[in-house]
Amino acid sequence: MLRLLLCCFLGMASLAAQPIHFFETAYEGDPRDWILYDTTESHLGMLRARWGFDGDWSQWDLRIGESSGAIQQRWREQPHHWECRLMDTLVSFQPVWQDQTDAWRLEGPEGTLHYRREQDSDGIRWTLVQGQDPWLVVFNTYYDDYSAWTVAFLQPAPSPTTQCAALFLTAHYSVSWR
């Protein structure tokens, strides 16, 4: 009986740790509400702007499985300095260069990571790297459509908090929604 309970618990723990494979806007043309999916295209969680009025994009609610978290601006006078809190883990992120939103520095459980945006004829591609080693790539799923994104992992998946920080940057800074 103990073995059966242990197997069930480990199975549930691995299900909760599944990486995010795909995310898209919940409503056409509304970037305030995103749905996250796993590799089996099952609903994994959501990312939603907390305030839906007055153009306030400073706080976001986050849910992955049964875990809740938040993404918010660290200081009002520095709108590109953010932090993501999920499952007792904190990742802070800001642009590498002041007000230039195509290169980011993330500080979290994996140490210092960099997240870079590149644009080519197919669309936008973001790459999360540590040193010179790419960890994941996020790209727009459909040509010239920035409401759906696919995540490809090149290394073991980073923490869910780091994944969510990267996906937030993709959704928030790829195009000018605001």
82-113 pLDDT tens trace: 999 999 999 999 999 998 999 999 999 999 99
Is 165 a domain residue? Answer: yes
Is 120 a domain residue? Answer: yes
Is 12 a domain residue? Answer: no
Query: What is the Cα–Cα distance from 6 to 13, expressed in whole angstroms?
Result: 10
Total tally of structural domains belonging to the chain: 1
What CATH number has the domain bearing residue 63?
2.40.160
pTM for this prediction = 0.86
* Sign of torsion over alpha carbons 149, 21, 153, 131: positive
Is 146 a domain residue? Answer: yes
pLDDT at 11: 38
Full domain range(s) for residue 136: 17-173
Is 129 a domain residue? Answer: yes
Rg (CA), the chain: 16
- Give the pLDDT mean for 120-129: 93
Q: Quick check: helix, strand or coil at residue 161?
A: helix
CA distance readout (Å), 75 to 59, 72, 92, 94, 161: 11, 9, 12, 11, 20
Q: What is the mean pLDDT of the chain?
A: 87
The confidence band for 177, taking pLDDT boundaries of 50, 70 and 90, is low
Is 8 a domain residue? Answer: no
Query: What is the Cα–Cα distance from 48 to 62, expressed in whole angstroms?
Result: 7
Inter-residue contact 2 to 9 (CB < 8 Å): no
pLDDT at 17: 56
Is 39 a domain residue? Answer: yes
- Give the pLDDT mean for 29-57: 89
DSSP summary character for residue 155: S
pLDDT of 3 higher than 70? no
Is 178 a domain residue? Answer: no
Query: What is the Cα–Cα distance from 157 to 155, expressed in whole angstroms?
Result: 6
pLDDT of 4 higher than 50? no
Query: What is the Cα–Cα distance from 168 to 79, expressed in whole angstroms?
Result: 14
Distance from the Cα of residue 165 to its chain's centroid: 4
23-40 pLDDT tens trace: 999 998 888 899 999 999
